[in-house]
Amino acid sequence: MSGPGYLFLGDEERALVQQALDEWHLNRYRFDEAAGPSMVYSLEREFEQRTGAPHCLAVNSCTSALLTALVALGVGPGDEVIVPGYTFIASIAAIVHRGAVPVLAEIDESLTLDPADVARRITPATKAIVAVHMLGAPADVGELRRIADEHGLFLIEDAAQACGGRYRGRALGTIGDAGAFSLNLFKIITSGDGGLLTLADDTAYERAFAFHDHGFKPLRQGIADADSLFGMNLRMHELSGAVALGQLRKIDDILGVLRKQKTALLDAIGELPGVTRRRINDPDGECFSFLVLQFETVEAARAVAERLGTSTLIDSGRHYYGNMPQLLARRTPTPSEHPFASSDRRYEANMLPRTDEILGRSIALSVGVVDAYLGSGVGINPLSSPDEIAAAARAVQSAVNEVVAMK
């Protein structure tokens, strides 16, 4: 049970961690100028160089990155933020903790936000759109960027599951006004826990830095202006930064292996009766960490999932809005006058019929992320041999053919 980055941990990460320990540098700041840049600082600058993002800020989780992005962009109490009904609960939790109101929107066959449905849900209270690059593949951020610009909205990219992905040549997380990435155990690259935030605007970056570190200006070059917000402590630890830096330096190798493994699995499975593959908005830009099969009916998908010992995506834990009791019960982090609790928006099961139908007839096979909670507990991993890939393909073929024969 892990993501691809975990399987690539090795001497590179160990050496960077050992360097930090040898020097006893455990904080992201190097208060001795002669000591040179910290691991966290180097991680931020190398991530900027790789993605082309004007600014990168390392934090302690992707949830913190999302919350910090909302703060930096001025999203606050009563603002509406459009978010897909298929995402991890953290995308919605960050909105609620800002006092804003999540507005759930449908996904399409790509398993990401349906731009047409997003456009229908915009109101005068809408402040931002959160595009989630689910299961390692990009949302239609080109169209979502156009919609956001047309209505004067912020676009935030939740790239927790898609670090290293691209859309039409641009790095995910750099097309919107902010991008949030996860470094937890189940992600493309990992530091155990941790997150990265990319920002396009200088002022937004300064606000983000102040929020993540007690109101300080970037790199603690003085105290932020008096009108800045109260900051918190969401900093990344230096040892996490060391591991993440080692992982970032091998991300191209990781993505290359994932592409090779997914291609091999696709070739081995071949065409299946009554089965299509998930639509990918940019086939060259995905992370190749999952293979999603979509069936003609919910019943067929459920029958195949049962034979494989897995589940359809509608049953994938708190990634489906209907499995989020906090949302459906309007549980808030503050008293009942919280805008989320007092708004007239309703959150209930089956409120997104298209999302329900698509997730109900979709199965995710692991390629790099082996995670039953996410719905990808079966399949292969980056280290699977050709024989293991062939065996996984035969299992899928057998399950599908058995279900077809029962019709």
Helices 353-360 and 298-308, packing angle to 10 deg: 40
Q: Which secondary-structure segment (H or E) carries 12?
A: helix 11-23
Q: Which secondary-structure segment (H or E) carries 59?
A: strand 55-59
Q: Can 127 be counted among the known catalytic residues?
A: no
One-letter amino acid of 311 = S
The structure tokens listed for 260 are: 């090779």
239 phi, psi to nearest 5 deg: -70, -35
User: Could you give the CA distance from residue 192 to residue 185 in angstroms, rounded to a whole number?
Assistant: 5
In the set 187, 250, 262, 407, the catalytic residue is 187
Question: Which letter does DSSP use for residue 156 in this model?
Answer: E
The structure tokens listed for 395 are: 């299992």
Q: Is 407 helix (H, G, I), strand (E, B) or coil?
A: coil
Q: Are 131 and 118 in contact (CB under 8 A)?
A: no
Length of the chain: 407
Alpha-carbon distances, residue 136 vs 107, 172, 222, 225 (angstroms)? 15, 10, 39, 39
One-letter amino acid of 316 = S
User: Could you give the CA distance from residue 147 to residue 362 in angstroms, rounded to a whole number?
Assistant: 28
Alpha-carbon distances, residue 217 vs 118, 180, 212, 213, 222 (angstroms)? 35, 20, 10, 9, 6
Cα 386 off chain centre by? 29
User: Could you give the CA distance from residue 277 to residue 319 in angstroms, rounded to a whole number?
Assistant: 20
User: Could you give the CA distance from residue 148 to residue 92 in angstroms, rounded to a whole number?
Assistant: 19
CA nearest to 101, candidates 116, 73, 82, 74: 82
The residues carrying an active-site annotation are: 187
